[in-house]
Every structure is written in structure tokens, then in C-alpha cells.
Amino acid sequence: MTNEQPKRRKRGRRHPLAMVALIALGLAGTGGAYALATVPAGAETTSAVSSDLVAQGEALFAANCATCHGLALEGTEDGPSLIGVGAASVDFQVGTGRMPLAMSGPQAEVKPVQFTTEQIRALAEYVASVSPGPAIPDEEYLTGEGADLAIGGELFRINCAMCHNVAGAGGALTEGKYAPPIMGVSAAHIYEAMLTGPQNMPVFNDDNISPEDKANVIAYLKYLETTPSVGGASLGSLGPVSEGLFVWIAALGLIVGITIWLTAKSN
């Protein structure tokens, strides 16, 4: 009975994932178009559609982002400069709902996405058009096809697991900051986070972890996400603290209850 629940939940999770994959596909297309547009030799290939997007992005930026980041992306007292952050950073920050920021705090929280896919694409195009930066990743690194899970797992444990937890469940950092869970995050957003190092996450550029290895890490995370815990309920995979708490409260409580019942007189 209880086993049916995680199954059903996963099937439920399939849905948003499929949608996110679709979004990622669209974004990757944008990234591809952008990459084409930024090839120095093909500078003249910038299409009319792209410049339309940039214009739309500029308008959106002026209306929604410029208060903190400045009209020319130069940054203000309230927000950092966005010069050189690239389309990948915009797609991550806006696409996960972290930006626009709801309020200042230890770190930007994930919240419902405030823009449509098309608008995020326009914003990314605009920011990238002002000064070049990391682009939205190609689809080939996001599908997990032909990826090496063992290498991905080793890289994850060396570079990521100390903050994001060995099962990708996230963990606490200093002074109210935290490493968010990576389960259920789209492949494109994971790739962009590694590439751009959002907020307090260090940057893992392509010289540190190559695009192929990033694809391996993503494939490993997706494997973790879709593989059920063999040992039964994973209790959020938070490690010994949550498991110990469960044992102390639930299991010991049960034992205490049984002991009381054993020694109580029957009426």
C-alpha cells in the first residue's frame, strides 16, 4: 500500500518534468540561435526575430529588473552588475523563479516563475546582447544519452555532495544560507548553475568540469531521481539527523507504548 504512494508521486512528477524538458528544449534552441549569432564570422546572421527578442527583452528588463540592476546592467547599491553574466545566468535566475527577488535576505528563494518561457528567452537574449557571457547549454549535454554515470557520480561526490548532500537533498550553509535540493531541478538549470555559480555557489567553468563531465553529473542526478531507494522510505535523504530523529520519536515511542501495554493490568 505505502509502496504505491511514491510510485504515484513519481508519475505525478513526470508531468512537470516533461514540461520543464519542453521548456529546456525551447531554451536550448534559443541558446543555439544565440551561439550562432555570436560566432564572429557569422555576425551578420543575427536574424530579425532575434533583434525583436532583444528589443522585447530590453523593455522587460527596464520594467522589471533595472531598479536594482541599473538600466545599462551596471548594477546599483541594491543589485549586482549583470555585465558578462550571460544568457545562462538569466535563464537560471529567472527560470527558477529566484529573480525578480521578493525581498532581500540571506539568499534568493525559489518561487513560482514570474515570466513566460518566451519572456525569459527575451531577457536572456537582451542581457547576452549587451555583453557576452556563458550561453544556455546545448541540448546534447542535457539528455543524458551516452553519459557515464560512474564518472558523474564521482565528480558529484567530489565537487557537489558536501553542500548539496550525497543524495542531492540540499543542506545548510552559514548564516541562514543553504544549498538547495537538486532533485526535481531541470537538467538545463543544473548545467547553468554549475557554469555560472549563482549566489554563493562556486563557479565550475568548462575548464574545471568539461561540458561532457557536466552532462555526466546531470545524468547521475537524473539517475538518482528516478531510482527508488532500495531500503524503503528514504525520509528525505537528509542523512543521520532526520533518520535518528525518526528512530527516537517514532520507533522508541512505539517501544515505550508496547512496554506500557505489556505491564499494564488488564481490566
List interacting residues with other proteins (CB under 8 A).
2-3, 154-155, 158-159, 162-163, 171, 173-175, 177, 179, 197, 199-205, 207-208, 227-232, 261-262, 265-267
Least separation, in Å, of the C-beta of 230 and other proteins? 5
Residue closest to 238 by CA, chosen among 184, 159, 174, 172: 172
> For residues 41 and 46, what is the distance between their CA atoms, to the nearest angstrom?
11
Helix (H, G, I), strand (E, B) or coil at 16: helix
- Closest-CA residue to 142 (of 66, 212, 193): 212
Query: Shortest CA distance to 166 belongs to which of 229, 98, 232?
Result: 229
Residue 145 or 207 with smaller CB distance to other proteins: 207
Q: How far is the CB of 248 from other proteins (least distance, A)?
A: 20
- CA diameter of the chain: 92
Closest CB 80 distance from other proteins, rounded Å: 9
| Minimal distance, residue 201 CB to other proteins, in Å | 7
Complex with other proteins: residue 100 or 197, whichever CB lies closer: 197
Burial class (CB in 10 A: 0-12, 13-18, 19+), 263: exposed
Nearer to other proteins, 44 or 207 (CB): 207
Per the listing, cell 555576425 goes with: 43
Helix (H, G, I), strand (E, B) or coil at 67: helix
- For residues 47 and 76, which CB has a smaller minimum distance to other proteins in the complex? 76
Cα atoms in the Cβ-side hemisphere of radius 13 Å centred on 208: 13
The helix or strand, by DSSP H or E, that contains position 224, with its residue range, turns out to be: helix 211-226
Q: Which of 30, 211, 198 is nearest to 128 (CA)?
A: 30
Least Å distance between CB 174 and other proteins? 5
- Minimum CB separation of residue 42 from other proteins in Å reads 26
Minimum Å gap between C-beta 33 and other proteins is 25
- Measured from the CB atom, is 1 or 63 closer to other proteins? 1
CA dist 267 to 182, 259, 264, Å? 54, 17, 9
Q: Between 112 and 231, whose beta carbon lies closer to other proteins?
A: 231
Would you say 103 or 267 has its CB closer to other proteins?
267
